[in-house]
Structure formats: structure tokens, C-alpha cells
Amino acid sequence: MLKTTTAALLATTAHLPAAQAVKKKVIVIGGGIGGLSCAYDLMERGHDVTVLEASKRSGGHVKTIYDPLPDGLYADVGAEQFCNPGYEAYRHWVRKFDLPVLEYRRRRDMYRMVRGQWRTEEDLAEAKMQREFGFNEREVAYMQAHGWMEMSRLYFGTMAGKFKDEHQPFGNGLDDLDHITAADWMASVGASEAAREFSGAGRLSTKGQPPTESDVSALYRIWQEAVVQMRGLPVFKREVFRLKGGNQLLPDTFAMHLGARIRKNCPVLSVAHDAHSVAVTFTDGRDAKPQTLKADHVVFAIAPMLLGNTLEVTPELPEAKRFALANTPMSVGSRVLLQAKTRFWESDALPSINLVTGNGHMSLVYECASEVPGESCVLMGTGQVAQTPEETLAAFRKFYPGKNKDTIERCIVHQWWKEEPLAINCERTPFPLGKLVKIWPQLIQPVGRLHFAGAAYDTLPWGQDAATLSARRVAEAISQA
């Protein structure tokens, strides 16, 4: 199944006729968007599905908040956006349920702090400034032809054609590059220091500073670029969209259709499996006494770290699978909201309020819920794992490039570790240097009747895209089993 192309997988929308389908009992562990979309897909295919969600809400890292924001304002404090092209499985569900879609202008007219100065998109597109930053003539010519945000494709894209199967990063003559950092490889093929910096390749290795597992391997970066090209996607997703009223609308729609098949406040304690069936033991919030459900298949739709740390699997998962789960890193942060009386930035000569700040307390700034009428507004950004509203507001007022006084009334820091400890993970981050061969494709492969879906379990770690696409893959595999 892993050799199935994304296009072929997405084309599998016609389910087996009821007379031919073999009805299976399936337990989905985790009620995030991956688990819910998988459960709904299975239900549509005629299977008997139960979703066990440990927390008191479904939706996982897709979360829209309204309180305590005034005047109908809201904010997506988890998954923010989707794009087109891309997010094919996600957009399939949006179309099916006829959900309202809005253009999200958060990546338009971005204003960036680059090397200590604010720069517009026009500044960064100028050949003169690109030379001043230190890009070589080959790089400048490429950026002038393709756009400065596509610059990394000049290097990683030239090797991407060696990959024929997006699920297989090995056997393409590049295996050794998993032990070479992206920065070192780029330098070896003539990339400037500026190109390495702007592409996020990291630092060069030296005798005094050898590479570490935190460095990204060249193979990983080339493989990811190959997948992006295979799917016909840009390097930078500028055209992005969101659901009107909040992205939680999609998981809520799944939940409405699944109804009583979802059991909330039911943390799983253990999973026992053999060649014929599985048994899941859990507690119900209404009754502390453990209960056990039996099924034909189980879908783990939870983050790898939770799977490895919070429940027991008998017999134990194979060593290779355990290693892959334990060494798959996921990003964790907070969402920062600034509620203001007015759109104060409009009186300043700024290209937009879409800021890339370089400040860890609010690395990005943009407006959300802009379609809500009225003068009040909400700005949002990404912060550190833990920080206070006071620290956040002080940071904003320090880096804000405008001259006029802001009208901010409230700062809200949504700390996932505190608010939603079972859904703290966002997107998968690059695998440790030299570990790709030990993690992939072991990470996404089923173990007997145990299957794995969610944001961590797809070739491209694009949040809702990865979650819904991996869910479709799992639903198809169970149906065909």
C-alpha cells in the first residue's frame, strides 16, 4: 500500500458496494481530525466504528476559540489554513459537506525582519538587494526568474527527479546524504552563505562543531522537495484558505455525523492484538472501572510520543516501530492573541500587518476573523511553549514597526501543554540527522491489525493535510484487508 501514489489514493472515493464489502469492527483511538476523518470514511464504507477520545472534546489540534473574544470574533489557535493545490483529501471533505471557505490573506504583502531591518516583499525581490545579502549570480538569476521564495528549489529541486515514489526516499543513489547536513551539501554544490541561510539549511559543520542530530540532512530536504514536486506544489504556500467561522467546523461536522460512535473522556489503557482480533481496554469518565472492547482493527490516531508513553500494547510493537515512534519529533508552541479596539496599523505606512518578526514570543503576526464586521479585531501569532501575556505584549510593542500607538485591550496566550495536554503537537519536524532509514517508512507501516493515522504519518508533514491523507490511506487499507 505504501507504493500507492497520492493521486491514486485520492481517486479511491468510490466505496465497495454493500453486497461486496466485508463489514469490519474498527476502534479509532484519538478524536482529532485524523481520527475523525478516518472514522467517518470507514463508516461511509459500511464498517462499524467506535472512536475513543481521551479528552472532553473532539478535534485535537484543530481548535477554534470564541471566548473571551468580543463581537463575534474568533481565532483558530491550532490548525490555521489549507491551500489549493494541496490538501486534496482535506478539500474533498470540505466540498462534500459544502463548508464555507474564505481566502486567508495572512501570507500576502508580508513584512519581514531580515538581518535587523524590516523588509517588504518588493525589497527582497530586487536583484540589487539579493546581491547585497550575498547571493551569487546564479542564485540571483534563479530568483529573478522564479521568485525569491522558490530559491531553495535551485539546489534541492535539481536532485528531486531521482525520486519515483514519494514514500521511498532510499535506493535513489542519494542514501549517503542522510549523514550529511543540508548546509554542508549545499556548500559542496556551490550555494552561497546567503542561500544556506534563507533556505533554513542550518550551519556548516566544522572540526570544532561537528554535525548533531538537530541538523537537517540533505537527503531529508531533497526528499521533501521531491514530494512537493510530485504533488505539483509550490515551495511556499502563499495562496491559503480557511473555513468561515473557524477551522473546527470540519471536525465538528465529522463529529455530528458520527454521533454516538464517539466516546469522549475515555482514555485508553492498553491494546492487545493477535492475528485474528484486537482488544482495547479503557476507562469511561462516567465510570472509573476499566472496560474492554473487541474489534477487527485498531487505528492509532494520536501523536507518536503519546502512543509510546501513555498506553501499553501487547504483544509489544516491533523494535523498529518503537524506535520510529520514539524518534519522530513534533513541533510544540503556543498561540498568541492580541485583541484591539481598532485596526491601529492601518494608520501607519505598513505594507500589511502580516509580520515575520524573528522574535520568539510572537514570531508571526497576522489578523484572523477579518470578515467579522465592526472595529474590534484580533491579531494572532506563534509563541514559545510557555510565556506570559505580559512578556508577549512587551515583545510586540518592541518589534512593532509602526509609529502610532496601538489600541490593544487584551493579550491571550493559548498554551497547548496547559489547555490541551493530549493535543499539544502540531506538525512533524525533520527527523534527526542520520536516522531517516530507521524511521521511514517504519513510522507509517501497520503492525498486523494496528494502523497509524494523523499529522505525523504522511510524507509531507502539513498538519491537516497529512492527517486527512493518512486517514484515507488507513481507511482504504482496512477496507481492502
**Contact (Cβ atoms closer than 8 angstroms) between residue 452 and residue 300:** yes
The pLDDT of residue 17 is 45
164-190 mean pLDDT: 95
Nearest CA among 327, 329, 298 for reference residue 314: 298
Q: Are residue 439 and residue 293 in the same domain, yes or no?
A: yes
The pLDDT of residue 299 is 98
The pLDDT of residue 16 is 46
Q: Look at residue 192 and tell me if it is in a domain.
A: yes
Q: Which residue has the higher pLDDT, 1 or 8?
A: 8
Among 9-23, 344-358, 431-445, which stretch is predicted with the lowest mean pLDDT? 9-23
Is pLDDT at 9 greater than 70 in this prediction? no
Q: Look at residue 134 and tell me if it is in a domain.
A: yes
Q: Are residue 410 and residue 378 in the same domain, yes or no?
A: yes
Q: Are residue 145 and residue 221 in the same domain, yes or no?
A: yes
The pLDDT of residue 202 is 84
Q: Given strand 364-368, what is the order of strands in its sheet?
A: 117-119, 111-114, 355-356, 364-368, 377-383, 334-340, 408-415
Is pLDDT at 2 greater than 60 in this prediction? no
Q: What is the grid cell recorded at 329?
A: 519529533
Q: Are residue 258 and residue 352 in the same domain, yes or no?
A: no
The pLDDT of residue 445 is 97
Nearest CA among 142, 145, 144 for reference residue 158: 142
116-138 mean pLDDT: 97
* Sign, CA torsion 63/67/72/75: negative
> How many C-alpha atoms does 179 have within 13 Å on its Cβ side?
3
**How do strand 48-52 and strand 25-29 relate by DSSP bridges?**
parallel
Q: Which residue has the higher pLDDT, 40 or 1?
A: 40
Q: Which residue has the cell 491537516?
A: 464
157-186 mean pLDDT: 95
Look over the chain and give the mean of its residue pLDDT values, rounded to a whole number: 93
Q: Are residue 321 and residue 265 in the same domain, yes or no?
A: yes
Q: Which residue has the cell 463575534?
A: 72
Number of H helices, E strands in the chain: 17, 21
Q: Are residue 380 and residue 446 in the same domain, yes or no?
A: no
Element containing residue 119 per DSSP (H, E) = strand 117-119
Among 36-40, 98-102, 230-234, 408-412, which stretch is predicted with the lowest mean pLDDT? 230-234
37-57 mean pLDDT: 97
The pLDDT of residue 7 is 55
**Contact (Cβ atoms closer than 8 angstroms) between residue 279 and residue 293:** yes
d(CA 191, CA 144): 16
Q: Which residue has the higher pLDDT, 309 or 94?
A: 94
Q: Look at residue 174 and tell me if it is in a domain.
A: yes
CATH number at residue 287: 3.50.50.60
Provide the domain limits for residue 371: 64-87+98-108+239-244+332-422
Q: Which residue has the cell 534563507?
A: 198
Q: Look at residue 427 and tell me if it is in a domain.
A: no
Q: Look at residue 92 and tell me if it is in a domain.
A: no
Distances (CA, A) of 74 to 293, 375, 410: 38, 14, 14
| SS3 category, 65 | strand
pLDDT bin (cut points 50, 70, 90) of residue 5 is low
pLDDT bin (cut points 50, 70, 90) of residue 203 is confident
The pLDDT of residue 255 is 98
Task: Identify the domain boundary among 404, 422, 440.
Answer: 422
Nearest CA among 74, 464, 97, 106 for reference residue 301: 464
Bond from prior residue into 315 cis (ω within 30 degrees of 0): yes
pLDDT bin (cut points 50, 70, 90) of residue 8 is low
**Contact (Cβ atoms closer than 8 angstroms) between residue 281 and residue 270:** yes
Summarize pLDDT for 291-339 with one digit per residue, the tens.
999 999 999 999 998 887 778 999 999 999 999 999 999 999 999 999 9
Q: Are residue 318 and residue 340 in the same domain, yes or no?
A: no
The pLDDT of residue 49 is 98
Q: Are residue 264 and residue 148 in the same domain, yes or no?
A: no
Q: Look at residue 197 and tell me if it is in a domain.
A: yes
Q: Look at residue 209 and tell me if it is in a domain.
A: yes
Q: Look at residue 1 and tell me if it is in a domain.
A: no
d(CA 378, CA 69): 8
The pLDDT of residue 283 is 95
Instruction: Please give the tally of structural domains in the chain.
Output: 3
- The percent of residues in the chain predicted with pLDDT above 70, rounded, is 95
Distances (CA, A) of 239 to 50, 89, 103, 245: 36, 17, 8, 19
Summarize pLDDT for 270-281 with one digit per residue, the tens.
999 999 999 999
**How do strand 117-119 and strand 278-284 relate by DSSP bridges?**
unpaired
Summarize pLDDT for 212-238 with one digit per residue, the tens.
777 899 999 999 999 999 999 988 999
Q: Are residue 52 and residue 136 in the same domain, yes or no?
A: no
Summarize pLDDT for 394-436 with one digit per residue, the tens.
999 999 999 999 999 999 999 999 999 999 998 999 999 999 9
Q: Are residue 318 and residue 465 in the same domain, yes or no?
A: yes
355-382 mean pLDDT: 96
The pLDDT of residue 21 is 60
The pLDDT of residue 10 is 56
The pLDDT of residue 307 is 85
Q: Are residue 404 and residue 336 in the same domain, yes or no?
A: yes
Is pLDDT at 20 greater than 70 in this prediction? no
Q: What is the grid cell recorded at 392?
A: 508577549
**Contact (Cβ atoms closer than 8 angstroms) between residue 151 and residue 195:** yes
Distances (CA, A) of 25 to 49, 84, 478: 6, 35, 10
d(CA 335, CA 277): 41
Task: Identify the domain boundary among 422, 441, 466.
Answer: 422
Is pLDDT at 239 greater than 70 in this prediction? yes
- Determine the distance from the C-alpha atom of residue 308 to the mean position of all C-alpha atoms in its chain, rounded to a whole number: 20
Task: Identify the domain boundary among 230, 256, 271.
Answer: 230
The pLDDT of residue 4 is 47
Q: Are residue 452 and residue 403 in the same domain, yes or no?
A: no
| SS3 category, 294 | strand
